[in-house]
């Protein structure tokens, strides 16, 4: 017998304000045609003035808890993956915990930028499998609109705001890939690639929040290689092939990256959940938002094998295999 972290429910929240490519092209030197052709993005959601990452996280978390039929006060662990916290400290997860009226249990943020959901899932899974907690609310939430240089067309068109949440509980499994729950996680980083994707500010450097800076072409090149590699290691670790996977739920950075990765892996496009057209890149929120989209429209069903992968600033990258 093995303890598994079973994803009991998913929830999501997107700010109501939608900004189309057409609208962006009125304020920055770009076109709907360029953005769609190079990225697949048609629109993004942008948080309202005063709407914070914790607001988004709490809304997504509330939906996930309601769907699981679990009360906030019964959650043992609150984790938020974010690179855009409300404050330098305390953690956004502490605000989420307070909103659900739970005291005394651990709450903390995980910072791995766009890989935050895979990193955080790995952390939560380890807490559950080693018996330290029985339940967790784990949320990827971002307000990247706050750290964009809205005059830099090479980055500001790419990102959006949103939050996706999962509840996880400890269940006993057989220790085989037939079990429900997280089956494996694989994490990587290479800090020497810092300058290719970073934010040019921070508490101890500039005392400002800073803006996203990216060498897009270089990031793209690394992404396709790293993502395919980390998917292959997940398949090998579980002794399965890509045909055993029901759904690839990738981090949503660029439709061309999704297509290239799918092609490299020989997974048909209709087994890949795509939301980048509607959400743009929501960093740590993009995988749980895509997961929620697939569950909500009935494509991802209980028992399905889901493979998640992401790559982001750091560089960080990784994958997670789970049976829903």
Residue nearest to ligand UT7 (CB): 216
Q: Which of 45, 186, 211, 251 is catalytic?
A: 251
| 187 closest CA partner among 140, 226, 244, 219 | 226
CA dihedral of 280, 80, 190, 321, whole degrees rounded to 10: -80
E strands, the chain, are 2-13, 18-20, 43-45, 78-81, 107-110, 135-143, 161-173, 181-189, 197-199, 212-214, 247-250, 305-312, 316-323
130 among known catalytic residues: no
Q: What is the DSSP letter of 84?
A: S
Q: Which of 67, 129, 146, 154 binds ligand UT7 (CB under 6 A)?
A: 154
Evaluated on CA atoms 190, 193, 196, 201, the torsion sign reads positive
What's the min distance (Å) between Cβ of 254 and ligand UT7? 4
Q: Which of 30, 189, 209, 238 binds ligand UT7 (CB under 6 A)?
A: 30
Q: Tell me the window of 7-15, 152-160, 177-185, 242-250 that interacts with ligand UT7 (CB under 6 A).
A: 152-160
Cis peptide before 315 (omega within 30 of 0): yes
CA dihedral of 27, 28, 31, 35, whole degrees rounded to 10: -120
Nearer to ligand UT7, 152 or 171 (CB): 152
281 among known catalytic residues: yes
Nearer to ligand UT7, 19 or 58 (CB): 19
Q: Tell me the window of 44-52, 151-159, 204-212, 301-309 that interacts with ligand UT7 (CB under 6 A).
A: 151-159
What's the min distance (Å) between Cβ of 196 and ligand UT7? 9
What's the min distance (Å) between Cβ of 7 and ligand UT7? 23
User: Between 213 and 242, how does the x/- string for binding to ligand UT7 read (CB under 6 A)?
Assistant: ---xx-xx--x-------------------
310 token code pair: 């992401």
Q: Which residues contact 40 (CB under 8 A, 6 or more apart)?
A: 254, 255, 256, 258, 274, 276, 277
Evaluated on CA atoms 213, 309, 158, 209, the torsion sign reads negative
What's the min distance (Å) between Cβ of 246 and ligand UT7? 24
Q: Tell me the window of 29-37, 102-110, 138-146, 293-301 that interacts with ligand UT7 (CB under 6 A).
A: 29-37
Cα separation of 239 and 253, whole Å?
Answer: 28
Neighbouring C-alpha atoms within 13 Å toward the C-beta of 292? 25
Q: Which of 84, 281, 282, 316 binds ligand UT7 (CB under 6 A)?
A: 281
What's the min distance (Å) between Cβ of 66 and ligand UT7? 30
Nearer to ligand UT7, 62 or 153 (CB): 153
Cis peptide before 131 (omega within 30 of 0): no
114 among known catalytic residues: yes
**Does 36 interact with ligand UT7 (rule: CB under 6 A)?**
no
- The binding site for ligand UT7 (CB under 6 A) comprises 30, 34-35, 38-39, 114, 153-154, 157, 216-217, 219-220, 223, 253-254, 257, 281, 311-312
Catalytic residue ranges:
114, 251, 281
């Amino acid at each position: 017998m093995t303890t598994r972290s079973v994803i009991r429910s998913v929830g999501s929240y997107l700010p109501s304000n939608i900004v189309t490519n057409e609208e962006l092209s009125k304020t920055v030197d770009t076109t709907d045609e360029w953005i769609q052709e190079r990225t697949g993005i048609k629109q993004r959601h942008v948080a309202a003035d005063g709407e914070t990452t914790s607001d988004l996280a709490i809304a997504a978390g509330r939906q996930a808890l309601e769907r699981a039929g679990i009360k906030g006060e019964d959650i043992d662990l609150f984790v938020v993956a974010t690179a855009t916290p409300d404050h330098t400290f305390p953690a956004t997860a502490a605000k989420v915990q307070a909103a659900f009226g739970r005291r005394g249990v651990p709450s903390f943020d995980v910072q791995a930028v766009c890989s935050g959901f895979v990193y955080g899932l790995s952390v939560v899974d380890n807490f559950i499998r080693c018996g330290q907690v029985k339940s967790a609310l784990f949320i990827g939430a971002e307000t990247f609109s706050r750290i964009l240089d809205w005059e830099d067309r090479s980055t500001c068109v790419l990102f959006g705001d949103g939050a996706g949440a999962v509840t996880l509980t400890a269940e006993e499994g057989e220790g085989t890939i037939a079990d429900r729950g997280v089956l494996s996680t694989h994490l990587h980083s290479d800090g020497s690639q810092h300058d290719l994707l970073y934010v040019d500010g921070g508490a101890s450097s500039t005392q400002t929040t800073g803006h996203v800076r990216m060498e897009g072409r270089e990031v793209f090149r690394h992404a396709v290689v790293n993502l395919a590699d980390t998917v292959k290691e997940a398949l090998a670790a579980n002794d399965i092939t890509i045909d055993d996977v029901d759904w690839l739920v990738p981090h949503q950075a660029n439709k061309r990256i999704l297509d290239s990765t799918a092609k490299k892996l020989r997974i048909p496009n209709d087994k890949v959940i795509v939301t980048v057209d509607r959400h743009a890149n929501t960093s740590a929120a993009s995988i749980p938002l895509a997961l929620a989209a697939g569950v909500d429209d009935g494509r991802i069903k209980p028992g399905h094998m889901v493979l998640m992968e992401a790559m982001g600033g750091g560089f960080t990258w990784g994958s997670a295999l789970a049976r829903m």
